[in-house]
Structure 1
Amino acid sequence: MSHSTSNTPSTSEVTSTATKAFRGEILHFLADPAKVAEEESYQYFEDGLLLIKNGLVVAVGNATDLLATLPVGLEVTQYDNGLIMPGFIDTHVHYPQTEMIASYGAQLLEWLENYTFPEEKQFSDFEHGKRVAEFFLTQLLDAGTTTALVFGTVHKESVDAFFTIAQQKKLRMICGKVLMNQNCPEDLQDTTESGYTDSKALIEKWHNTDRLQYAITPRFAPTCSTEQLHKAGELLKEYPGVYLHTHLSENKNEIAWVSELFPDSDGYLDVYDKSNLLGRRSIFAHGVHLHDHECQRLSETNSAIAFCPTSNLFLGSGCFNLKQAEEFDVNVGLGTDIGAGTSFSMLTTLNEAYKTQQLRGDKLSPFKSFYLATLGGAVALDLEGTIGNFTKGAEADFIVLDYQATPLMARRIARCKTLTEKLFVLSILGDDRHVKATHIMGEKV
């Protein structure tokens, strides 16, 4: 679809002081490259124009077609030597773990005990939460990530702090208070009842306030009693628009532990299924070791997996089977999973994603990579049409990737003959340095 025709806006749509225009090389996705012919999955404009009004996309297309529709005197912002694309979407990340990133030498369960739980205790303090949230969100924006699905801690204050800062920055963010009432330090436990009432209060206060949305967040099956998981299912019924965000089948010892704790369940996913936690807005982080019947069930319920390659490699959890997810038509987004993940950068995450598939003997095409980082994340979060691409009416969160951010990138890009090559080089050599600009609702931040 290299030079697709654009939807030309009417004059009334663009004659406003709130109109902005951006010109440069533009790419966005319309569909999953694994489901349609690759060239039909995206639109690419070598000299494109993105037109925005009041923070929403009015049109995208070839600059030559759209320039004539602009009101006289409208300034066009030009981005050269780079690629304009929708902002990255991180479908699984822990903001309270920001300052314990790169903690040495443990696999999942030991890592939680030694590093994570002690770190999370500090988040009973609202001011501490705000300070970390400010830094965390700045890191995301610097790396070109404009939306994320975020874990808080067990403390209600951690979520209030996060949403307070995200709201100030006008971001589309999803977050939730962790539910955990067993198998964790006593001073990090809630109860079935307090978890339910705290979550309810947070939903009432924050869900759909400005661009914020709430996720019911059981940490993972081992730290939740059956009663607590059932209560989470009740909350989902009471508030059908909220999300469910938890962990699934990340590590083999964890999976063995789940089967000991829940002997009546037919595997890890079934523990959640029995509490009615699967659905269109349910996102399960990792899914590294899934059985076919579990993928089938995720697909039937329209649930999604957050694929977190830097974390899976760092904790030695394994290599996610993307092909299996595709075969069963499971929605998949990408996650950095800070702090087990090792970078805020979605470009670095794509680099590791490619390698995990290489280790499996599978290929990850650069188009699929960038789809996962943008529209794939939006689909996983049930936000297609709102974020993730430049369809008319979508929120104008977008980034500019810089082809010349480093001497090595500039040299390598100069040798690229096709868009495929350019995208692959960005995904392997790129990091936060290659994000030249991040825009939220059309405003450069």
Structure 2
Amino acid sequence: MTHHSQTALNLVREQSPERPVALVRRAPVTVAAQWFQSHFKGEIFYAVKANPSAWVIETLRDAGVRAFDVASINEVKLVKALSPEARLAFMHPVKSRRAIAEAYYDFGVRTFSLDTQEELAKILDSTGGAKDLNLIVRLATSGEGANLPLTNKFGAQVYEAPALLLAARQATQDKMGISFHVGSQCMRPTAYAAAMSAASRSLVRAGVLADIVDVGGGFPSIYPGMVPPALSEYMDVIDRAFEDMKVHEATELWAEPGRSLVAESTSILTRVDLRKGDALYLNDGAYGNLFDATHAKWPFPVKLHRADAGGEVSSELKPFRFYGPTCDSIDHMPGPFWLPADVVEGDYIEIGMLGAYGVAMATGFNGYGESDTVFLDEAPMASLFGLGPRHISLPRSETLEDNKIVRFSRPKGGKKGRRRRG
């Protein structure tokens, strides 16, 4: 169910929603897309896994994003249904034969990622030995500087990479590329330079030239206690590192931003069903939209909305922890989440910065997990793109200035085009 509302408070006081509500804003997605297209000197592939909502795909499409990083055949079908002319890159390093064949033959996908000789053979076999493939070899990285490292499951190791790069080069008459993922919510721009340097060394050892250098995702957003360097620093580091790579003049530069494009867009409105001391029992949780709050233990920004129009809210803030609605005791979000000391049953809590890996992670466990969607005109609860005001709830001794939140002026737009070395 989708509605429109001017503010979250209006929604609470007019409807007192029974189910959790995803409060979504199109403007932050548009502005972030414009920023990346203006500042990244290459091709942007949106990582659909971050938020596969139809409105996100449509908003990005309308903002000029024409390429998408997909991780499953269902994501291929989703994007093609909403943006038939989209360019897709199937960047999951492990795929079923049927998914590869369907993507290739039915949807025209030509770009596939791999990190083993076995996956390369599978791709070639499933496409009938096609020579028009873009084969992207994914390297393992250290994960240093990432809040959520992605180092164990995927990526060819240093000793494996040269042979795999050479095999991929020999397998296609089209393009061969090299990629990596520095980890989610990467807080160190230099992590990209280190990975690009390692990629360059692997190419030299293999004795091949790459047609594509894909720096992956990992670009951060802003959360309480996690204020990253300016995004422009990441772009500068990548630009300098690309200049130093052993690549040819026509080598393309790609990136797969996900979190940084959509995190600011969505907050989750959830109701307090019980207060037990410093524990608040909510109607949303780990099996709904709050996976990262539970498993990554991120203290997302919060804001209290009271349904009673005449009810005053305490100016004193106290730390709270949350429990979700399921019967599983792991459904616990430790926070701390700083809220007015007098929060009671029936109050609503808006939890911000959940546009990435919020609605995308929801399940139906215990009969919970369903939520409604409401489009808001409000600014996000925090922003790296200058979309204030900010409403991060902090202890009274802290201020937004203390956290040195970075602001950017809104870009004027205009795509610079694909990056060419020369």
- TM-score, normalised by the number of residues in structure 1: 0.36
Between structure 1 and structure 2, the one with the greater Rg is 2
Q: Taking CA–CA contacts closer than 8 Å with sequence separation of 6 or more, which of the two structures ends up with the larger relative contact order?
A: 2
Higher helix share: 1
- TM-score, normalised by the number of residues in structure 2: 0.37
